[in-house]
Chain A
């Protein structure tokens, strides 16, 4: 007795219990969902019933599949894991739901969302397995496309990130290179001025050169400070003034003048640092040179604080007073740069001495 006739007889027995007027049997025969029934009592669980939808899905004739195991639909690309899941469920007599690649009679493939479920008799023994198959090829293709698209996007993002990182590295290297050159050139300018100052015998000319050297040094101090902080956009005014005062007082060699500093931490935009530094340099140099002629000691106070919307920079000396402050060029520099910085500069009599107030707007102008 071959498998086919045995399975057909089993199918006939199944059908005998469900006549033509059985609405459930009619529904299964006519539904668009592919369905099969296998005989669990026979060796290798052969198919004993398949509806028309199953035949249409797989391309087989009914007599080509009755008596055969469902694995006839599997092929080389079918997932081993999915097959194992199915085998385990059948052996354990449990439901299972897998999506696996199946092969039609003509060798073409489709994605099968397969659901199997055991059917038990009154005694609780498994007599049949019921299987339903849904073609989910479209869904799988769409999923694969999404994955492919995502991989593509990730690649694009990765490439772009690498490009940007490279560009940033190049930019940083360039910034360091330019910074390096600016500093070296400032050093060269200052050394040139110093060298000439040494050779010039005329005291007036020497004084002029020293004045220029002081101004170059003020700008140099700015550049030494500029890239020391992490924020290249901001410039720490108080730290700069501390450096300037140390340098000016040291060069002046005036132990008879006491410096008093009261510096609040205040930042200005880096773009304003150089003109600001030049203003402070002129005011400090004026106080030192003109407030205290040789032999007259005293005190210079430098204060930095916030006042309403302004930074308030105060330089007060108790020297000989402002009548004697006559460095024309220095004052011109202060006036021009204050105009540029939109700052107010007020000079008053400190009785004795001179008080200069610079009010620098934190944002915008007065």
Chain B
């Protein structure tokens, strides 16, 4: 991690999922910054802590506000958002500025692989290879990280 571990904010209203995500984040050598359960909490934490990456569920304790959270984090907080949702098809086409999505239900290995992959992308500005199973990149980020979109997107 070029000296510094990737700092990750969790935006998830299911406590059990959030706690398990913290473990996974630590296991791949990143640093969990904390967990927000509502959009208000998420934006406040992001503004204060400036995470490198925010894992954002679409349905939060105050409703389907995750999309707005992702947009705010990428526009105002200088961080990169990654959706984690069961409703991949309902995301806006531009991914609300987020770099991609991990579809629920994800596996332990799926999340770890995706996090390591994104850590590399964020550090090097370049993808280390095709996107791993379970991760779908937003078209803008696939471009940014030098992926042919047809190869970059998982089916």
Identify the A interface with B (CB < 8 A): 176, 179-180, 183-184, 186-188, 190-192, 194-195, 198, 213, 217, 220-221, 223-224, 227-228, 239, 242-243, 246-247, 250-251
Contact = CB atoms under 8 A, between A and B. Distances in A.
Among the interface residues A176, A187, A243, A250, which one has the most CB atoms of the partner chain B within 10 A?
Answer: A187
Nearest to A195: B20
Nearest to B112: A250
A192 B15 CA distance: 11
Contact of A220 (B89, B105, B113): B105
Given A243-B133, A250-B113, A187 B87 contact: no
Contact of A228 (B16, B23, B155): B155
A219 to B, nearest CB: 9
Interface in B110-129: 110, 113
B105 A223 contact: yes
Contacts of B16: 188, 191-192, 195
B86 A180 contact: yes
Contact of A194 (B20, B87, B103): B20
Given A176-B87, A194-B20, A224 B109 contact: no
Contacts of A220: 105-107
25 contacts: A176-B87, A176-B89, A179-B87, A183-B103, A183-B104, A184-B86, A187-B14, A187-B105, A187-B106, A188-B14, A190-B105, A190-B108, A195-B16, A217-B105, A217-B107, A220-B105, A221-B107, A224-B103, A224-B104, A239-B155, A242-B133, A247-B109, A247-B110, A247-B134, A250-B110
A214 to B, nearest CB: 9
A98 to B, nearest CB: 60
A342 B46 CA distance: 54
Contacts of B106: 187, 220
Contacts of B19: 191, 195
Nearest to B88: A228
B87 A190 contact: no
A183 B17 contact: no
A195 B16 CA distance: 8
B132 interface: yes
Contact of A176 (B17, B90, B107, B109): B90
Interface string B137-155: 0000000000000000001
Contact of B23 (A198, A217, A251): A198
Contacts of A190: 105, 107-108
A189 to B, nearest CB: 8
Contact of B109 (A184, A188, A251): A251
Nearest to A213: B108
Contacts of A192: 16
Nearest to B133: A246
Nearest to B86: A183
A251 B107 contact: yes
A251 to B, nearest CB: 4
Of the candidates A195, A223, A224, the one having the most CB atoms from chain B within 10 angstroms of its own CB is A224
A191 B24 CA distance: 11
B105 A186 contact: yes
Contacts of A188: 14, 16-17
Interface string B65-77: 0000000000000
